[in-house]
C-alpha cells in the first residue's frame, strides 16, 4: 500500500540551550563546557562553537562587571537556538540600560597603551554577528544576536 497522502517530511526541531546564570564571575567557568556539549549535539563546527563561547563570555562578563549598582543576586537568562542554518543567541538581564549598538567603536589606530580600557568586547561581538538587536523592555536589557551557519558538507 502506498503512502501517497503523507505530507512533506517534518522539519528538524530546533536545538535549544537555555541557561540562567547569576551575576557572579564563577558562572563563566561553566558556560564553555555547556556550549561545547550543545555545539556537538547540533553539529556545529569548532569555529561556530568558538564564536558562541566568545560572544557569551564577552556579553555575560560585561553584564556582571558593569550591569549592577548593588551587590544583590541577579539572574542573566541566556538562550542559544540552532534552527536550520541560523544560530540565535538571546540574552536577557535586569541590569542598567545598555545598548551595545550605541557603543562607539574603539580607535584601533591608537597605540595599545593609549587606548581606553573597555569597548573591545562589544566591538568583537558586533563583528561576529550577522545581526544584533537590542531592546529595553520592562526593566530588562534584551539582546539578540543572529549568525548564519556554515552549510553542512
The residues that bridge with 22 in the sheet, in sequence order, are 75
50, 67, 141 from 70: Cα distances, Å: 32, 9, 17
Q: Considering only CA atoms, which of 36, 16, 31 is closest in space to residue 80?
A: 16
Q: pLDDT truncated to tens, each residue of the chain (153 aa)?
A: 555 556 566 667 799 999 999 999 888 888 989 999 999 999 999 999 999 999 999 899 889 988 999 999 999 999 999 998 999 999 999 999 998 888 766 556 656 665 555 555 677 788 788 999 999 999 999 999 999 998 654
Largest CA distance in the chain: 76
9, 63, 88, 90 from 52: Cα distances, Å: 30, 16, 10, 11
Cβ neighbours of residue 36 closer than 8 Å, sequence gap 6 or more: 49, 53
What is the set of domains in the chain, with CATH numbers?
A: 15-148 (3.30.565.10)
Confirm if 93 and 77 have CB atoms less than 8 A apart. Answer: yes
pTM: predicted TM-score of the whole model, two decimal places: 0.82
Amino acid at each position: 500500500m502506498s503512502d501517497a497522502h503523507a505530507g512533506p517530511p517534518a522539519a528538524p526541531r530546533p536545538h535549544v540551550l537555555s541557561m540562567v546564570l547569576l551575576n557572579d564571575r564563577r558562572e563563566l567557568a561553566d558556560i564553555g563546557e555547556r556550549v561545547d556539549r550543545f555545539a556537538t549535539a547540533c553539529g556545529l563546527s569548532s569555529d561556530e562553537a568558538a564564536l558562541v563561547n566568545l560572544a557569551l563570555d564577552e556579553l555575560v562578563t560585561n553584564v556582571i562587571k558593569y550591569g549592577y549598582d548593588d551587590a544583590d543576586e541577579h539572574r542573566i537568562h541566556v538562550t542559544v537556538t540552532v534552527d536550520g542554518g541560523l544560530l540565535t543567541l538571546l540574552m536577557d538581564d535586569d541590569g542598567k540600560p545598555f545598548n551595545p549598538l550605541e557603543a562607539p567603536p574603539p580607535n584601533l589606530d591608537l597605540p595599545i597603551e593609549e587606548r581606553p580600557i573597555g569597548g573591545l568586547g562589544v566591538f568583537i561581538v558586533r563583528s561576529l554577528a550577522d545581526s544584533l538587536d537590542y531592546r529595553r523592555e520592562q526593566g530588562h536589557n534584551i539582546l539578540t544576536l543572529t549568525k548564519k551557519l556554515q552549510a553542512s558538507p
